[in-house]
Structure 1
């Protein structure tokens, strides 16, 4: 491994990581990297061999006790030579002492188990053009709630709502994630409370929805339909936690089909999250 060097990722490296993820078929968001960068600027690592990028990983710290691994990719021409493992160890060292989560693709899950990760549930990507109807399909206002632009609500309300579904506060990330150009963030609002939140963003493939939070399937369906209206062709993809049976049943009823699967895994007991309201996770790269 002579000449192997690990450094923090530059802006150009972040775009390279997005391109590598796209080549793996992960369909990352076109502008995700701008929100990723504010989540933890030092959390993105690149390994180079004689100056050429060989592997990448993200090891993002949240608060004082949680971390998340993502973007674990080796350049195909450098695979099987131990560079990826060196980078993995560097990422895990950065998160030492924390509960660590990741979304592991099927072919890597045994390796993650060997590193101490235990499966909690599967995130199954469902994709397609939502068919009309279903709970909430009639549109805004059904059921006594209103679908509004999330930017019109006090950010403190959004941040507090997000904490019901994520182990630590992530205000800087959430602020960027919901407000980047080209994406749409909608909230379901009723009696002064947020009862649902969804964000759709452009990708090279189907537009991705994440997060998708809702207190009822009706609210989730309304948000999903409305978000699909803000895409070029109405085709969306959402990573649905299979532990929420209502979420799986909803996307199936709307005609979305499974296309990809990853296991949410943790190095310890899974955090106490409001899984009944989690209809779509925010990002497979950052949790």
Structure 2
């Protein structure tokens, strides 16, 4: 196999669909409309490796602001692995971030490689759990689209390493996405969550809440109208409340990921209020 003429370049909007399809093939179960919200965040942040006009590898490093980026879709066609293409592609993509801190959810078994060759530092693990929908819609929740967007963006930014208004606006309004929020009597946001349709079942993400009771309420609402259908929740393992939530519901662990960053110092996130990661691909 001739891999000496590898070309690294940005992907077009349509080519991002290749990365989403590959993610499905690898078992990551992306949402049906993920590309529609991912690409506009940073159209220059999606890359591929190409051999003889064929895409053989994908990677994304999406710049959210001038301080933070998130990497994902790091995959190489099985027929082209073990030729160094992946590491070259990763380096090409990471250069797009400049001096920004980059976050990444990777395969646990490859952490040593990520650390030694990728310049990444393990911070903690995330875990995907599967459950079955159904139940009764609880009272006291409101559609997230009816919440002040400015307030929602502020609340979201307190649970993510950067502001992400463009992504958030698309995420809550995208077809097939259902969002709910819990407000106090004064209209202050106590938590919110979004459910989206995926290749298999549904995913809940993000699920941010001030405490486990609020997270439980939101989750009950998000899965009430999908009786018997599978749903998936990706939790940060250090959040003991989230671990208790999935265990008490008899949800089944599917797989774990390693959350890594390009800095050894802790990234200031309130993990005890993060009951569901937004996406493994974009953070």
Q: TM-score, normalised by structure 2?
A: 0.94
* RMSD after superposition: 1.5
For residue 220 of structure 2, what is the aligned residue in structure 1? 225
Aligned with residue 185 of structure 1, among 179, 189, 193: 179
Q: Deviations over 1:260-283 (max 9, x none)?
A: 110111111222111111001101
Q: Work out whether residues 46 and 56 of structure 1, in 8 Å CA contact, stay in contact via their aligned partners in 2.
A: yes
Q: Deviations over 1:76-131 (max 9, x none)?
A: 11111121111111011111311111011122211111122121111100101158
Matched, 1:237 2:240: no
User: For the residues of structure 2 that align with 1:38 and 1:232, how far apart are their CA atoms?
Assistant: 33
Moved over 2 A (4+): 138-141, 229-234
Question: What is the correspondence of 1:116-265 to structure 2 with a 5 Å cutoff?
Answer: 116-129=119-132, 139-141=137-139, 146-191=140-185, 192-231=187-226, 233-265=228-260
Aligned with residue 272 of structure 1, among 268, 273, 281: 268
User: For the residues of structure 1 that align with 2:18 and 2:214, how far apart are their CA atoms?
Assistant: 37
Aligned with residue 42 of structure 1, among 41, 44, 50: 44
Q: Deviations over 1:130-181 (max 9, x none)?
A: 586xxxxx7534xxxx211000111101100001111111110111111100
User: For the residues of structure 2 that align with 1:127 and 1:81, how far apart are their CA atoms?
Assistant: 35
Q: Deviations over 1:171-193 (max 9, x none)?
A: 10111111100110111111211
For residue 29 of structure 2, what is the aligned residue in structure 1? 27
Matched, 1:282 2:264: no
Question: What is the correspondence of 1:56-95 to structure 2 with a 5 Å cutoff?
Answer: 56-95=58-97
In the alignment, structure 1 segments of 5+ residues that lack a partner are 133-137
In the alignment, structure 2 segments of 5+ residues that lack a partner are none
Q: Work out whether residues 133 and 227 of structure 2, in 8 Å CA contact, stay in contact via their aligned partners in 1.
A: no
> 1:8 and 1:119, CA in 2 relative to 1: closer, same or farther beyond 3 A?
same
Q: TM-score, normalised by structure 1?
A: 0.93
User: For the residues of structure 2 that align with 1:9 and 1:282, how far apart are their CA atoms?
Assistant: 23
Q: Work out whether residues 14 and 33 of structure 1, in 8 Å CA contact, stay in contact via their aligned partners in 2.
A: yes
Q: Work out whether residues 127 and 206 of structure 1, in 8 Å CA contact, stay in contact via their aligned partners in 2.
A: no
Q: Work out whether residues 187 and 197 of structure 1, in 8 Å CA contact, stay in contact via their aligned partners in 2.
A: yes
Q: Work out whether residues 130 and 255 of structure 1, in 8 Å CA contact, stay in contact via their aligned partners in 2.
A: no
